[in-house]
Amino acid sequence: MSDTEQLYLHEIQLMMHGCGDCARPLPATVKLMATIVQQQVLSIAWRAEEQAARRGSKSVNPRDIIFLMRKNPDKLPVKEMRTNFSALTSSDLVEPTDDSEGDVTNLHDPARRNRQSSLRDLFTEIDVSGELLESLNNPMADTIRQKRNQRADSTSLSLDPAGYVEFSNARRAAFVNSKLTHHRFLEWLSLAIDTSPGLLGEPLVSSPPRMNSAAIDILAYLAKETVAMLIDFALLVRQDSCGTVPGGPLRPLTLRPPTSAGVSSGLERLPLSPAEIREALRRYSSPLLTQSAGLVRTGPPLASQLIAC
């Protein structure tokens, strides 16, 4: 196991704790989570690369990822893009003017290339239905995130000072930080790429697509959001298993903070198992689920289903 893989397994272990798992997640669950995140993020990156190619560029920038998410504006990290993602200047949104692989739609507009580009400008370019601009002007309340924060607050109140410091550090875990650079994040993603020879003797894909720093920041955010959502769904699966009786119907599932007493509270302190993560992923990826199953969703099978995008 490489140093990069070990570093990211440790970081994912912290993330899982910060998102609702116990303080010491199972190593098998951490490895499974890492595999799922790598597959999900690479799928987003390659789809963004296809969109970049359509506009005449060989490098992915935030515009391409936002375009992929245009039909799910509630999942766009608008707040983070305003504050954290490299300020999203024109050099982030469009390749430099001396790059022959730049965005051909802007080659005849130097003023547009060189000025600061705001999120509003970018959303206006991409938006057709008006949903993106609406999400920028009037962000929707994210009830899942609110309940996730409630669960974290409830956990914090039950911890001693040492446990609180550990939990706070876990909540700050990220795929890109001062220790885990953009280059290392891409190196970690490349570990999941199948480099076995194709029909012509060469690997079909050997590395993640080219992308600028702002695009990598967004992918790192979506990677952590994937971890958080899988933990949310796995806790729903656990709540389901706690709330059923032999031969009885499933009760409706809701995300709620752990209570101070009861069977559910005791089980929530146990580490999540790989089986619970797989079941959560299966339910999310099912073509059709009933209300009693808790995760109502229609869509394509797992191979093309993205969680955070």
The string of pLDDT tens digits covering residues 168-190 is: 999 999 999 989 999 999 999 99
- Residue 194: what pLDDT? 73
Tokens of residue 215, six digits: 């695009």
Taking the C-alpha atoms of residue 188 and residue 34, their distance in angstroms, rounded to an integer, is 10
- In the chain, which residue ranges form alpha helices assigned H by DSSP? 3-19, 27-54, 62-68, 78-83, 90-93, 110-114, 119-126, 131-137, 143-157, 161-171, 182-190, 213-242, 263-268, 274-285
**Report field, pTM of the whole predicted structure over 0.85:** no
Q: Comparing 77 with 290, which gets the higher pLDDT?
A: 77
Q: Comparing 236 with 7, which gets the higher pLDDT?
A: 7
- How much of the chain exceeds pLDDT 70, in percent? 63
The string of pLDDT tens digits covering residues 99-124 is: 434 343 343 444 333 333 466 777 77
Q: Which amino acid is at 116?
A: Q
The string of pLDDT tens digits covering residues 60-85 is: 988 899 888 887 777 777 666 665 54
